[in-house]
Amino acid sequence: MILKAPLRNASGLVDSIKRKFGDKINNDIRERLDRIKSNMDKEMKMVENILGTFKSKEQKERMEKIDLNEIVQRVCEELQYEINQNNITVEVQRNLPVFYSNKHIIEHIILNLIDNACKSFDDHRAENQIRISAAETNHEVIIKKSDNGRGIPKDKQEEIFMPFTQISTSQKQKGVGLGLTLIRNFMDKLNGQIELQSEVGVGTTFILNFRK
């Protein structure tokens, strides 16, 4: 499966490095490699779950009650290392909505948005912030992820939803570049919408609209 291939290849590369260099790797590097491997394994499992959802002819039956508070907490715990390394304060609105949707997809979307936000900060000594908020009406749930990172130029704001396009200009923050492409596709599958608001030097907000 093409979506899993980059993750599988990168995971295999980590294993190859550990085998080749063995005892020459110091504890700090080994810990980082283990963390990379663990995160990739989680991503592969999540992609498998999501693909399984869309292959199923009974997709509607996979809709379940979702506690957004639990999902955001779990994602922040998973990204705690990145949050700490970038000196980020994560502000989460109290009593986020509980609604029906696909849990695997929602968690994947939140994970990617917060992970991208962690990569948007250039000064690790600044007061870096990520904010998660949500609102609910009779017809929809609206989730917002805001940060005060570097922002995205207007001429790049549509381009970043294209496959293999990087948000970050930093060599240290390179990735596969599929995250936002997948998010837009998943939102389409759920009959939802994603909106981007960003200004260079001010920050970025992603707005997710889910129909009930």
Q: Taking the domains of the chain in order of start, what are their residue ranges?
A: 1-55, 66-211
* CA distance readout (Å), 45 to 38, 40, 42: 11, 9, 5
Q: How large is the average pLDDT for residues 176-202?
A: 85
- What are the pLDDT digits (tens) for 87-135? 999 999 999 999 999 998 899 899 989 999 999 998 888 899 999 999 9
Report the Cα 136 to chain-centroid distance in Å: 22
* Cα angle 196-198-201, degrees, rounded to a multiple of 5: 160
- Report the C-alpha gap between 2 and 89 in whole angstroms: 35
Query: Which of these, 112, 149, 107, lies nearest to 129 by C-alpha position?
Result: 149
CATH annotation of 66-211: 3.30.565.10
- What are the pLDDT digits (tens) for 38-64? 777 777 776 776 666 556 545 544 789
pTM (2 decimals)? 0.72
